[in-house]
Amino acid sequence: MKIFFLVILMFTSFLHPESSFASKVDLKPCIKVSHCVIEELDVRNSENPFEDIKSIIENTHRTEIVELSGDYLHAEVTSKWMKYVDDLEVSYLPELNKLLIRSESRVGESDLGVNQNRVDLLKAKMF
């Protein structure tokens, strides 16, 4: 009976892996393109691109890193006036020398270009 419960426990751990085992490489696709941006950056020329972008995000006003796991980062960005919270995700693919960046507004129909500007600013600071 103990073996049965042990097998069940082991099986369920594979169904719901801990965040350290879960792959964060694939970012969610944009559901509404009007308030979401995903870009892929070639970072061959950067020595340590994930640390570089992490440092940039850490030093960005109204931005808080809420999850950092391996080569994945999730930050929340709060707007200055209305205090809306946007999600910013970065995933580093070292084997491809690529950074995937996703910025999305949580509410609203349009972001008035805020997410594209955020990604463009990160790219400008990286290169």
Closest by Cα among 94, 90, 96 to 123:
90
The pLDDT of 46-57, averaged and rounded, is 96
pLDDT value of position 36: 96
- Is 9's pLDDT higher than 80? no
Name the DSSP class of 33.
Answer: G
| pLDDT at residue 11 tops 80 | no
- For the cut 80, the answer to whether the pLDDT of residue 17 exceeds it is no
Confidence band for 25, pLDDT divided at 50, 70 and 90: low
Place of tokens 């559901």: 31
What pLDDT is recorded for position 20? 36
Q: Domains in the chain and their CATH numbers? A: 26-126 (3.30.310.80)
Spatial distance between the Cα atoms of 127 and 52, rounded to a whole number of angstroms? 10
> Does 21 score more than 50 pLDDT?
no
pLDDT at 26: 83
Q: For position 57, what pLDDT does the model report?
A: 98
Question: Which two three-digit tokens encode residue 108?
Answer: 């609203």
Q: Kindly report, residue by residue over 62-100, the tens digit of the pLDDT.
A: 999 999 999 999 999 999 999 999 999 999 999 999 999
CA dist 51 and 49 (Å) reads 6
Angle between helices 114-126 and 49-58 (to 10 degrees): 130
Mean pLDDT score across all residues of the chain = 86
pLDDT score at 95: 94
